[in-house]
Structure 1
Amino acid sequence: MLTAFTAGLTVITATELLDKTFFIAMYLAMKHSRWLIFSAATSALAAMTILSVGLGQFASFLPKSTVHHLEIALFLGFGLKLIYDAYKMPVVDNCDRVLEEAEEVVSKAEGKLVAKSTGTIWLEGFLLTFIAEWGDRTQLATISLAIDKNPLGVTAGAVLGHAICTLIAVTCGKMLCGRITERQLTFIGGGLFVLFGILAVFEKS
């Protein structure tokens, strides 16, 4: 369980920082209570994590050897894709551009709100984060980890990783954005997945 927890925590932290949900939370926190947005975004990411772990656990119905080979393929494939994506990213990261994209997403959503009470703002943060996370690299990462690792460990590690990243986003996201790039973090995330894939090759099927 400790291995699954550590894997979930490290991979999610590396891939969630400066992700699109990170910037959505950062922008919302500039307009509303940062702790309200933290609560909404973290709840949405926790819900998505539980769903993703559940999807990964469906693989347990497959033959053990198939699960083993599927795990290796997903780890290596996803890791190499992240490294390729990082290679294609600009060396100089434009945080202002990404933040403007998040602002556009939020503005469209807020244009449909009738009233901006605490409840509607929380729901807005929850839904925007949940929708943005669907099909995102961190969801795919969680599904991959949950295929052959302890589901409770993966869930706990991933939720904690999301919470840490969201806390950074709503408190000092802009400062971090100027010190580390999405390209660097994507390289790290890809490297971790390739490492997990290589280690999985030597595990008994």
Structure 2
Amino acid sequence: MSSLVQGFTKSLAMTVLSEIGDKTFFAAAILAMRHPRRLVLSGCLGALIVMTILSALVGWAAPNLISRKWTHHITTLLFFSFGLWSLWDAFRDGGEAEELAEVEAKLDADWKANGGTAKQSNKDDDDLKKQKRQFFSQFFSPIFLKAFSITFFGEWGDKSQLATIGLAADENPFGVVIGGVVAQALCTTAAVLGGKSLASRISEKIVALSGGILFIVFGIQSFLSTVDS
């Protein structure tokens, strides 16, 4: 039970501090300004839950492919690396502004390429069609798939995904999944309901600094702990 709680709390704290102000956070916020929030939330959150489960499965399987001792050492190294990475981000000038500008530019280009200029003229027709759609067609609508794909591929190979893999290799994978899913739900909901405004009120430097310190604390704890070979 203690290992489950430890995996949950570590995953929850790590994911929240990694996702606030991340590219996928801004993407969810911007998409929610242009599309129905329910579809954007379900698409983004669905992608993040799938990514969290896949990452935890990889981390859980790692000790069966590599010795437990080596996975523990790799996890420790990952925590220290991500801690330094986050601290570097904290003291880099313009990090948040560049991240937001990059996401907005990509989404704006995609928006224009898909006829975004005609949105207002067709808004009434679209609203009428949405009311007539069945749940299944709404769930797999282009908006849902767009939000899902942008978030899924945006998270692939990201710091939070790799950290989840390392955490699941060293902690209870069920706790890691539950903590990660709860954290992703909180962050994604915040992004969809007002992420751009929220991000402007939260200091990106403080978030990155807190994340860096947390990763280093995890690294020290992992380094000092013993593991059966």
Length-normalised TM-score, structure 1 = 0.89
Is residue 2:32 matched to residue 1:36? no
- The separation in 2 between residues aligned to 1:167 and 1:173, in whole angstroms, is 8
Q: Which amino acid aligns with 1:106?
A: L
Task: Verify the 8 A CA contact 2:20 2:199 in the aligned structure 1.
Answer: no
1:4-38 C-alpha deviation (Å, 9 max, x unpaired):
01111111001101100001000000011112111
Is residue 2:202 matched to residue 1:176? no
Greater radius of gyration (CA) = 2
Is residue 2:166 matched to residue 1:144? yes
1:40-92 C-alpha deviation (Å, 9 max, x unpaired):
1000011111111122223212222222222211111221222122222448x
User: Which blocks of at least 5 consecutive residues in structure 2 are unaligned?
Assistant: 116-125, 131-137
Task: Verify the 8 A CA contact 1:18 1:181 in the aligned structure 2.
Answer: no
Task: Verify the 8 A CA contact 1:109 1:124 in the aligned structure 2.
Answer: no
* Equivalent residue in structure 2 for 1:59, among 38, 62, 68: 62
Give the match for residue 75 of structure 1.
79
Give the match for residue 165 of structure 1.
187
Shift of 1:140: 1.6
Is residue 2:34 matched to residue 1:12? no
Length-normalised TM-score, structure 2 = 0.80
Give the match for residue 104 of structure 2.
103
**4+ runs deviating over 3 angstroms:** 97-100, 107-110
Matched length: 200
The RMSD of aligned alpha carbons is 2.0
